Amino acid sequence: MPAASRPRKTVIVTGGAGFLGSHLCDRLLGDGHHVLCVDNFYSGTKDNVLHLLDDHRFELLRHDVTVPLFVEGEEIYNLACPASPVHYQFDPVQTVKTNVHGAINVLGLARRIKARVLQASTSEVYGDPEVHPQVETYWGHVNPIGPRACYDEGKRCAETLFFDYHRQHNVRIKVARIFNTYGPRMQVNDGRVVSNFIVQALRNEPITLYGDGTQTRSFCFVTDLVEAFIRLMDTPDDLTGPVNLGNPVEHTVRELADKIVALTGSRSAIVHKPLPMNDPVRRRPDISQAKAVLGWEPKVGVDDGLKQTIAYFDELLKKGPAALEHR
């Protein structure tokens, strides 16, 4: 349904001041909705939504989803959780609480106000996969006691809670499994491969490549992912997911590093470091379901997306250290 003909709603976005959440807020406001952005600013930043504060249809609420939330709306997008290893491993117990207690509180809210609720899950539920490409019917290969488990297993438990609330309480759920996503408003020090490589290249610092660089990832530009969120939320209630959302074009990490060096004109050398424990060797989504039920596939090619992301970081770095404090 075209944006102009969709009913106007009040939409709650938890984690709305984060990288993905702020782009989603932009899109929802652009579609004419009222948006309540909920964030505790652990990994999100007010800078991401400063341009929205004068819009009378936008409201910003500082709140942690591990505490129950009492607000009103017709739709909820639950994006609240640090998504980069640097952030989610810093306080792993809090990461589990955000995923599990946060899901319980968001689902309780959705049940009370009879709202549709979309869970931003992750490709990390597949772990270091033994099935390639990853399909939604694959149950995954995850180390439940490793350093990444706070995020991987936290997200898996959140999915369990979503489907149990759906079966037991008829909560109207949508579950999206997000693969690597990049674009403007990523943080400088978030430890993700795209932002790491771009910042190092722009500074002409050594580019740190973990392992031999043959591990693969699939990179989806943020506006493509937001489009998929909107389409998934708009599907009939019987389509719960999970649905893979990502770019099916697979790149080695070494290819990505070489591409960023070329696009930035950097003098950076590439240095190798040991591969982190339980780091997935291959990652590529099967998006057959997203194509069939959402009519969606990514439109922004990796070169175009990287150019936009490089331009963002280049401008940010030129502003100096003060501009990077909350990034």
Q: Answer yes or no: is pLDDT of 80 > 80.
A: yes
Residue 279: band (very low, low, confident or very high) from pLDDT cuts 50, 70, 90 = confident
Cβ 226 vs Cβ 178: under 8 Å: no
The domain that holds 38 is classified in CATH as 3.40.50.720
Looking at the domain assignment, is residue 244 inside a domain? yes
151 is catalytic: yes
Residue 323: band (very low, low, confident or very high) from pLDDT cuts 50, 70, 90 = low
More confident call, 287 vs 82: 287
How much of the chain exceeds pLDDT 70, in percent?
A: 96
Q: How many folded domains does the chain comprise?
A: 1
Longest dimension (CA), the chain: 58
Looking at the domain assignment, is residue 177 inside a domain? yes
E-state strands within 156-301: 173-178, 181-182, 207-210, 216-218, 220-221, 243-245, 250-252, 270-273
Q: pLDDT by residue (tens digit) across 299-322? A: 999 999 999 999 999 999 998 775
Among 82, 44, 84, which Cα is nearest to 61's?
A: 44
Looking at the domain assignment, is residue 293 inside a domain? yes
Please provide the average confidence, as pLDDT, over all residues in the chain: 93
Both structure tokens of 95: 């990461």
Looking at the domain assignment, is residue 308 inside a domain? yes
Q: pLDDT by residue (tens digit) across 200-256? A: 999 999 999 988 889 899 999 999 999 999 999 999 999 999 999 999 999 999 999
Among 144, 83, 93, which Cα is nearest to 278's?
A: 144
pLDDT of res. 284 = 93
Does the pTM surpass 0.95? The reply is no
How much of the chain exceeds pLDDT 90, in percent?
A: 84
Domain span including residue 305 = 9-324
SS3 225: helix
pLDDT of res. 276 = 79
Among 134, 108, 111, 110, which Cα is nearest to 123's?
A: 134
pLDDT of res. 189 = 85
Looking at the domain assignment, is residue 76 inside a domain? yes
Q: pLDDT by residue (tens digit) across 163-206? A: 999 999 999 999 999 999 999 999 998 888 999 999 999 999 99
Q: Answer yes or no: is pLDDT of 6 > 90.
A: no
In this prediction, residues 5-27 reach a mean pLDDT of 93
pLDDT of res. 277 = 75
From 77, 88, 151, 165, the catalytic residue: 151
